[in-house]
Amino acid sequence: MANHLKRPLVQQLFLLTFVAAIVAVSAEPQLPYKIQQHSSSYPQPRDFPSEQLYHAYFAIQRFKNTITSDPKNVTSTWTGHDICATTSYLGFHCGAPHGQASNLTVTSVIFDGFGLCSPMQQDLVDELPDLAVFQASSNNFGGEVPILTGLSYLYMLDVHNKQGDQFEEAKSGTAATHLSQLCVGKNFCPGIRLRPILDPKHPAHGATSAKALLLNNNQLSAPLPANLGFSKVSYLALANNKLTGPIPPSVAHMQDSLVEMLLLNNQLSDCLPHELGMLTKTAVIDAGMNQLTGPIPSSFSCLSSVEQLNLGGNRLYGQVPDALCKLAGPAGRLTNLTLSGNYFTSVGPACSALIKDGVLDVKHNCIPGFANQRGPAECASFLSQPKTCPAASARVACPAADAKMNVAAPEGRVAKDYSSYVVYATLHE
Ligand SMILES: *[C@@H]1O[C@H](CO)[C@@H](O)[C@H](O)[C@H]1NC(C)=O
Ligand SMILES: *[C@@H]1O[C@H](CO)[C@@H](O)[C@H](O)[C@H]1NC(C)=O
Ligand SMILES: *[C@@H]1O[C@H](CO)[C@@H](O)[C@H](O)[C@H]1NC(C)=O
């Protein structure tokens, strides 16, 4: 396993700040199932600060009934009507959109390390329509990847700085990589609070909606949902699960939202999709340690914001596109391209230069004349198998560049520390 997976858990802090309501949610929160009208102790809307929390109460209680293992006895705090209190409902965090203080609602779920086991985490996510963060690393959730579909509010992620007491604003795009800490549960994070942004029409420094689905280290075993890309998340972390099937072409729809994506160490298969190359604002794409195959599509030369690109430990073959390696130059922001443990057979001049610089790792491939390659028999055996993925096309049309995002990369930039990326920082042992 890669070294960074074994890094001790950094204590992290995660602050959510609301900027503004941007879309009026048409979907009313679902009515609770089968209310027993005659029971006088049954919770009534007036027992809750908002209608949203009244509906959340039933969603949480239904979810609680599906939990089959709770080693830390967390769900014993999920009682009563005060969902937003610090001492009850551990794992649930509330907030209200700017200017709508009376609409307090559940905005983030952070179950990190609770060790909960339930096949139904998807239902919980579906029934909390204002959720912007679902972070449940190191639980035993099985089944499918839930999708954060609601985009009721515009959020901005703020991160508590370990060194001082300042807040760093996490802007969309690569600035978000300043994030160094991410909260791992209410019990570790007494500092979770909401910082209202006073001018919702002009969110500070180009902040955009930021949603996070962080589910590393679970037992998710289904194929990635075909509509994954419609969830418009900014941070997607699904490392160390048992996900199968292809990377869905719908990922292209996350083009304006996705900042970091971790698919490391699953059982994803099929051809590397052309659509991955459409993620022009994404700084981290890590699909290492899977069973992906095919050549690298030429669209990957459009990844002008990518800093960390890991496709190591797959079944990729062909030539490493030189246009991709050029993203380590002025055309892009690439600082680490890991392609080790595949079946590539050649690299061009720009890639050769990156290997010398230590930016590109092609160990354990099938490149003639290079050191540390697979044996000839192993290479011949792989290369003789039938190949069904589309050949990399010569020409590629990149999505229209967003001038704001494509400001020239800083001169003499250096590779950032792994823990400065949200998705890597959320990887636990
Ligand atoms: C869980 O917590 C509840 C309430 O604090 C307590 O009554 C119960 O004994 C606890 N159960 C275990 C297994 O610790
Ligand atoms: C609260 O939410 C409801 C429905 O989502 C909306 O109709 C209402 O205007 C909101 N209240 C405020 C104060 O914005
Ligand atoms: C580059 O990425 C690989 C795969 O994620 C990682 O193992 C390696 O440590 C990284 N190298 C640097 C210098 O950050």
Nearest alpha-carbon partner for 15 in 151, 194, 163: 194
Does residue 125 or residue 339 have the better pLDDT? Answer: 339
CA distances from 402 to 172, 173, 202, 302, 309 (A): 13, 11, 19, 12, 21
> Mean of the pLDDT values across residues 279-294?
97
Instruction: Determine whether the shortest distance from the Cβ of 101 to ligand 2 is under 6 A.
Output: no
The rounded Å distance from CA 103 to ligand 2 centre is 6
Confidence of residue 97 (pLDDT cuts 50, 70, 90): low
Give the ligand at the shortest distance from the Cα of 79.
1
Task: Return the residue matching tokens 């400065």.
Answer: 420
Residue 357 has pLDDT above 70, yes or no: yes
Instruction: Determine whether the shortest distance from the Cβ of 69 to ligand 1 is under 6 A.
Output: no
- Which helix (H) or strand (E) element contains residue 107? strand 105-110
| Residue 4 near residue 424 (C-beta atoms within 8 A) | yes
* Ligand 3 residue neighbourhood (C-beta within 6 Å): 2-4, 286, 288, 310, 312, 336, 338, 415
Question: What are 253-278's pLDDT values in tens digits?
Answer: 999 889 999 999 999 999 999 999 99
Question: What are 203-251's pLDDT values in tens digits?
Answer: 343 334 567 888 888 888 889 988 888 887 888 989 999 999 999 999 9
Distance CA 233, CA 132 (A): 8
The rounded Å distance from CA 50 to ligand 2 centre is 9
DSSP state of 228: G
- Which helix (H) or strand (E) element contains residue 420? none
Ordered DSSP codes for 148-192: -----EEEEEEEE-SSSS-EEEE-TGGGGGG-------GGG-TT-
Confidence of residue 425 (pLDDT cuts 50, 70, 90): confident
Instruction: Determine whether the shortest distance from the Cβ of 103 to ligand 2 is under 6 A.
Output: yes
Nearest alpha-carbon partner for 339 in 299, 280, 287, 390: 287
Confidence of residue 102 (pLDDT cuts 50, 70, 90): confident
Nearest alpha-carbon partner for 30 in 1, 61, 56, 60: 56
Instruction: Determine whether the shortest distance from the Cβ of 76 to ligand 1 is under 6 A.
Output: yes
pLDDT at residue 268 in the model: 98
Residues making up the chain, counted from first to last: 429
Confidence of residue 389 (pLDDT cuts 50, 70, 90): very high
> Mean of the pLDDT values across residues 43-63?
94
Which of 240, 310, 363, 416 gets mutated to test ligand 3 (max ligand atoms within 8 A of its CB)?
Answer: 310
pLDDT at residue 186 in the model: 28
Distance CA 140, CA 117 (A): 5
| Residue 182 near residue 13 (C-beta atoms within 8 A) | yes
Question: What's the whole-number average pLDDT of the chain?
Answer: 76
Nearest alpha-carbon partner for 105 in 121, 127, 123: 127
Instruction: Determine whether the shortest distance from the Cβ of 87 to ligand 1 is under 6 A.
Output: no
| Residue 310 near residue 338 (C-beta atoms within 8 A) | yes
Nearest alpha-carbon partner for 246 in 195, 294, 178, 179: 294
Give the ligand at the shortest distance from the Cα of 88.
1
pLDDT at residue 21 in the model: 26
Residue 175 has pLDDT above 50, yes or no: no
